[in-house]
Structure 1
Amino acid sequence: MVLEIVFAAGCFWGVEKNFEQISGVIEVTSGYAGGNYDNPDYHQVLANKDNNTAFNFLNLLKKISWNDEEDENDEHNKEPNKNTINHTEVVKVIYDTKLVSTEFLIKNFWELHDPTQTDGQGNDKGNNYRSAIYWTNDEQKQIALSTKDEYQTLLNKKGFGEIVSELKPLDKFWQAEDYHQDYLAKNPNGYCPNHKTGVKFASKGMIKEKLSGTYNEHLKDLILEPLGDKEIIVIESDAYCPYCVAFKQKVLDKYKGSIPVRSVFAHNLKGYTIKTPTFATPTILFIENGIEKAGFQGYLSPQEFYKILGKFKLGDSKAFDIAFNEGTEGRFCKQYDIFKNTPDGVFVDKLSGAPLFDTNDRFNSKSGWLSFTKAIDNSTIEKPDNRFGMSRIEVISKSTGIHLGHVFEDGQNGTRRFCINATVLDFVADLKQ
C-alpha cells in the first residue's frame, strides 16, 4: 500500500535528504503545513515566525492533539480569534508499506532531530522550524502517539526534557517553491545541520533493502574513453544514491536526444579533461572532444538539465533564442524550407527527442511557418501569452519546457493551427516507409 505522511523537524532541506535515502520511500516533497492561512510562501512563513508565542502554540497544540475532552469554555486554552498560526517547514513523504513500515519512518523522525526544543532546531529559531507529525490515517496517529511515549522514556533516561512536537491530522500540505525541492541534491555542500539528540530506539521496525549486493554493479568494469564529439557523462555511485535514481527517472529515462549520454563511476573515466570535482553523485558533465565544457554536482531537474543542454548543443544560435527567450524565426526560413515537404515521420523536440508533431497533421497554411492541426497527445503545454499587446496561446514542449510557437483558431476546415518554429525541431522519418 502506498501512503503519505508529513513531518517537520527543522529546516526542510536536511529532512528531505534524510527521508529520500530510506528504502521504500517513493517521493519526498518540501512544503509548508500546520498554519491557518492559505497559499503560504517561504517569505510569508519566515515573516510570521514570531507571530504566535510558544505559550499560545503549545496550549493550542495540547487542545488539538491530546486533550479532546478539555472544556471548550476554558478561556485559558482558547486560540485568540485574530491570532495567525504560522506554517512550519515540512516534508511530505510518500512510501510503500511493502518496503518500509510506518513505524520505521516515524521512529526515524524522532531520531533525526531534537523534539524537546520549542519553536526551532538548533540555531534555526522560530515557529516555522517547530517539530511536528501530521498523519493521514488512524494507524499513523496511533504509532505517532505510542512512539512519542516510548521515545520520551528514552529521552528522560538521558536527561532531556519533554517532547513538544505537534501531533495532529494533516489539514493541508502546501508545496514549497521549486528552488527548495531537492535543494541538497542540487547543492551538495549546502546548509544541513545536525540536531539529533543521539538517543536511539532499540528497534525501528521493518525496512527492506532496495537492492542486494553492489549498486550499479553493471558499471563496475565499464571504462569510458572520449567519443570524439559532444557527449554527456553522468558520474554514478556504487552505493544507493536517491538523487541518482531521481535524475534517472525524471530525466535520463525520458531522454531521446541526439547527444549520447553515458553513465560511469568516476575512477573509470580515461582520457578526459575534467574540471568539476566528481565526489558528489550524480555529477553531470557536458563534454566535447574529451574536454569538459560544463559540469554540475548533484541533481538537476528536467528544466535545469535542458537549459544547460540547450546552451551546450545550440550555443548562441537563433534556435536557443527561440527555445529559451520565446523568439520567433523569420517567415520561410531555411529550416522551414527543409521541413515543409519531408517524407512521413514525426517532428521531435530538438533537445529531448520527444515526439511533438506528426506529418499526417501538417498542412500548408502559406504563413511561412510550419503548421499542424494538432500536437501529438500529451506532448505539449499551452498557456496564455499576452506579450506585445496581443492575446495568444503559447505552445511549449512538455518534456523540456522550450518555446515552440503559438496555436490559433484559424486552421483549415474549422481546426486549430499550431504555428511552430521549425528551428527548434528535428525530424525523424518513418522507417516503415
Structure 2
Amino acid sequence: MLSEIAFAAGCFWGVEKNFEQIPGVVDAVSGYTGGSYDNPSYRQVLDHRNDTSGLSQLLEKNGWKDEPKESEKITNHTEAVKVLYDSKLVSTEYLVKNFWELHDPTQVNGQGNDIGNNYRSAIYWTNDDQKKIVLETHDEYQKLLTQKGFGKIVTELEPLGKFWSAESYHQDYLAKNPNGYCPNHKTGVKFADKGMIKEKLSETYNEHLKDVILQPLDGKEIVVIESDSYCPYCIAFKEKVLKEYRGSIPVRSVFAHNIKGYKLKTPTFATPTILFIENGVEKLGFQGYLAPNEFYQALEKFKLNS
C-alpha cells in the first residue's frame, strides 16, 4: 500500500536525499507547504522567512495580543519533502523516527545557520494512523531529548494541506550536485528501535496479469510493461498517472513475455516501459517511470503525430 507524508527539517535538499535513500520510499519531492498563500516560489518563501505570524499566534496563545502588521497576516510556507512510500517495505514509524533523528526539532524557525520560518520543523500527515504515530513518537522523543538536556520540541504537527512542488532545479539537487551544501543538525539522540524496514519483498506482484496475453487493438492504445515482482516505479506510475487518467485512448498492462504480434522498437526488459502504439506498431516508447507531466506531453505528441 502506498501512502504519502511530508517532512520539513531545514533545507529540503538534504531532507530529500535522506528519505529517497530509504528502501521502500518510492518518491521524494521537494516543495512548499504549511503557508497561507498560493503558488509559492522559492524567492517568495525566502522573502517571507522573517515574517512573524507564527510567533504572533504563539504569543496570543499565551495572553499577548497586538494588532498585527500587514506582513504578519501572512503565514509563510516551509521547505518540505513529500514522501511516497510502500508500507509493505517501510513502516510509517520508521520514517517518522528517522525524521526526528534527522534534525534538531527544538530549534525555533531554523536549522543551524539556516534561519527563518521557511526552515521550521514540521510533519504533515495524510491519515489518522500517521497522526497517531507522529504524536506518540513526539512524546517518546521528547522524553529522550529531555534526558540529554535538550529543550521542548517545537515541530509543527498538522495534516497535509496543499503541497506545491519546488522548481525543477531543487529536485534531486544533491544527487546532481554531490558537493552541494548539506549540513548536519542532528541532536545525536536516537530511538532504541526505529521500526520495520525491509530490503525487498518475496511476494509475487500483479498476479492478475499472469495469464494475460496481449495482442494489438485496431487504432491507438497505450501498453504498460509491468513486472511480476516488486517494482516501486511501476507502483508510482499507477498511483500518480494511471489512477487519474481519464483519456479516450485505452491503456493496458502486460508482462513483457506475454505481448504478442506487436512491432516494437523499445526494449521491454525495464519496468515500467510505456509504449504508445497504433495498429500494433510502436510510435513512441519510454523505459522507466514517467511523471504525470512527462506522460501527458508524450500523449499529446502521440495524438498529433497520427
**TM-score (structure 2 length as normaliser):** 0.66
Could you tell me how far 1:405 is from its partner in structure 2?
Answer: 12
Q: For residue 410 of structure 1, what is the aligned residue in structure 2?
A: none
Q: For residue 315 of structure 1, what is the aligned residue in structure 2?
A: none
Q: For residue 47 of structure 2, what is the aligned residue in structure 1?
A: 47
Q: Distance in 1 between matches of 2:124 and 2:59?
A: 17
Q: For residue 9 of structure 1, what is the aligned residue in structure 2?
A: 9
Could you tell me how far 1:76 is from its partner in structure 2?
Answer: 4.0
Q: Does 1:162 align with 2:152?
A: yes
Could you tell me how far 1:23 is from its partner in structure 2?
Answer: 1.1
Gaps of 5+ in 2: 203-231, 238-261, 267-273, 287-295
Q: Does 1:398 align with 2:284?
A: no
Q: Structure 1 pair 25/77, CA: closer, same or farther in 2 (3 Å)? A: farther
Q: For residue 132 of structure 1, what is the aligned residue in structure 2?
A: 122
Larger radius of gyration: 1
CA-based RMSD of the aligned residues comes to: 3.7
Specify the SS of the correspondent of 1:16: helix
Q: Deviations over 1:264-286 (max 9, x none)?
A: xxxxxxxxxxxxxxxxxxxxxxx
> Percent sequence identity over matched residues?
60
Matching of residues 138-287 of structure 1 within 5 Å:
138-210=128-200
- Tell me which amino acid in the other structure corresponds to 2:31: G
Q: For residue 424 of structure 1, what is the aligned residue in structure 2?
A: none
Could you tell me how far 1:191 is from its partner in structure 2?
Answer: 1.1
Q: Structure 1 pair 360/202, CA: closer, same or farther in 2 (3 Å)? A: closer
Q: Distance in 2 between matches of 1:155 and 1:193?
A: 21
Specify the SS of the correspondent of 2:73: coil
Q: Structure 1 pair 79/7, CA: closer, same or farther in 2 (3 Å)? A: farther
Q: Is the 8 A contact 2:111 2:120 kept in 1?
A: yes
Q: Structure 1 pair 378/141, CA: closer, same or farther in 2 (3 Å)? A: same
Q: Does 1:96 align with 2:86?
A: yes
Q: Structure 1 pair 100/405, CA: closer, same or farther in 2 (3 Å)? A: closer
Q: Distance in 1 between matches of 2:194 and 2:102?
A: 13
Q: Deviations over 1:28-71 (max 9, x none)?
A: 111000000000010010001011255325458xx7xxxxxx9x
Q: Distance in 2 between matches of 1:207 and 1:58?
A: 37
Q: Structure 1 pair 185/161, CA: closer, same or farther in 2 (3 Å)? A: same
Specify the SS of the correspondent of 2:123: strand
Specify the SS of the correspondent of 1:398: helix
- Tell me which amino acid in the other structure corresponds to 1:195: H
Could you tell me how far 1:210 is from its partner in structure 2?
Answer: 2.9
Q: For residue 96 of structure 2, what is the aligned residue in structure 1?
A: 106
- Tell me which amino acid in the other structure corresponds to 1:11: C
Structure of higher RCO (CA pairs closer than 8 Å, 6+ residues apart):
2
Q: Distance in 2 between matches of 1:360 and 1:4?
A: 37
Q: Structure 1 pair 136/347, CA: closer, same or farther in 2 (3 Å)? A: closer
Could you tell me how far 1:205 is from its partner in structure 2?
Answer: 0.9
- Tell me which amino acid in the other structure corresponds to 1:107: K
Matching of residues 282-361 of structure 1 within 5 Å:
none
Specify the SS of the correspondent of 1:132: strand
- Tell me which amino acid in the other structure corresponds to 1:37: Y
Q: Is the 8 A contact 1:113 1:197 kept in 2?
A: yes
Could you tell me how far 1:21 is from its partner in structure 2?
Answer: 1.0
Could you tell me how far 1:121 is from its partner in structure 2?
Answer: 0.2
- Give the number of aligned pairs: 235
Could you tell me how far 1:378 is from its partner in structure 2?
Answer: 9.1
Q: For residue 298 of structure 1, what is the aligned residue in structure 2?
A: none
Q: Structure 1 pair 10/45, CA: closer, same or farther in 2 (3 Å)? A: same
Q: Structure 1 pair 77/30, CA: closer, same or farther in 2 (3 Å)? A: farther
Q: Structure 1 pair 110/58, CA: closer, same or farther in 2 (3 Å)? A: farther
Specify the SS of the correspondent of 1:3: strand
Q: Is the 8 A contact 1:119 1:131 kept in 2?
A: yes
- Tell me which amino acid in the other structure corresponds to 1:169: P
Specify the SS of the correspondent of 2:52: coil
Q: Does 1:35 align with 2:17?
A: no
- Tell me which amino acid in the other structure corresponds to 1:398: A
